[in-house]
Amino acid sequence: MKRADPPMWTEKQLRTAIDAAGVSLWLWQVDTDEIVMDERGYDLWGIPRSETVTFEHLSATIHPEDLDKVRAAFTATRAVFGAYEIDFRILFGNKIRWISARGQGNDAGMLDRVMAGIFLDVTQRKQAEEANELLSGEMSHRVKNLLQVASTLTLITSRSATTTEEMTQDLMDRLMSLGRAHDLVRPFPGQEKRAALLGDMLAVLLAPYDNRVTSTERVRVSVPKMSVGEAAATTLALIVHELATNSLKYGALSTPTGTIDVSCDAYADEADVVIIWAERGGPPVLVPMARAGFGSKMVARSMSDALDGSIVFDWAQEGLVVTLRMSKDRLAG
């Protein structure tokens, strides 16, 4: 029995499959540099369909950091054997979009001096990859900090304890407080706080570093009564935890007499909340000369993305002053 010929794809079926895959098609006339795209391609690049498009035209929207790489890659594809894939960023309004350009090199499949290929929007994949890299970096950073904090808390406890039993109890209390603070920074699923009072949250976060024996307070918190929403609580806790860790390593908390004052301005007629972190009595303040480390970048990104705010460091001679400005709506949301 003769085997039936397989069905042929119709143009409509091909277009349906292409649309389902989110693929946009392009043709490049290598002599004139003109590029023709399908409807999805123009939408992907944000270019009016009536315009004549060239590679130079598209280059105007490519992220400046990727432009030289893309130029070199597209030139090289003419001499590359086999399939190629180039991922790059374009500026789409005030956002960044990731595009993957794919085709065949060495002029494979070229007809009438026209090369063909596809564009794919890979923004979600790239954002997921960046999020995973950020999480891995943050986890490594957190583990290193926690080990150093635990070691330094042991040293602080030994300065004031008079007996082994007293030191053991004080150190256990501090480590338990550190654990509660860490839960605020990275709560377990299902254990997130719906809302917290700002003063209570700061007290929990800074409790491990306060003086447990003498009546002298090393950490003083003076903030108005206001609620902090679930999402904002985790972000703000991470930031305060980072500031306390750095103070313990380099700032006021690294000396027996250093102090920290945390205050807050939040007026009813203003859209922002301002928290001031002021250190006094620590070692001489040195302005960091190197580029910001992972912790500093993470704090700045958290303030901007999650709290629609900013963080400013004033390396004053008498002690570091940090100003945290954030949206009142974001803080309560």
What global pTM score does this model have? 0.52
What local confidence, expressed as pLDDT, does residue 275 receive?
93
Q: What is the dihedral of CA 10, 13, 14, 17, to 10 degrees?
A: -170
Written as six digits, the tokens of 169 are 């109890």
> pLDDT averaged over consecutive 10-residue blocks of the chain (333 residues)?
63 74 80 82 83 82 88 72 82 85 67 76 84 71 65 66 75 68 56 66 81 68 84 78 83 88 78 92 77 65 84 89 91 78
What local confidence, expressed as pLDDT, does residue 146 receive?
64
Which of 266, 176, 164 shows the shortest CA–CA distance to 225?
266
What local confidence, expressed as pLDDT, does residue 261 receive?
93
Separation CA 249–CA 293 (nearest Å) = 14
What local confidence, expressed as pLDDT, does residue 181 receive?
57
Residues 55 and 45: beta-carbon distance below 8 Å: no
What local confidence, expressed as pLDDT, does residue 212 receive?
52
In the chain, the domains with their CATH numbers are 11-121 (3.30.450.20), 126-332 (3.30.565.10)
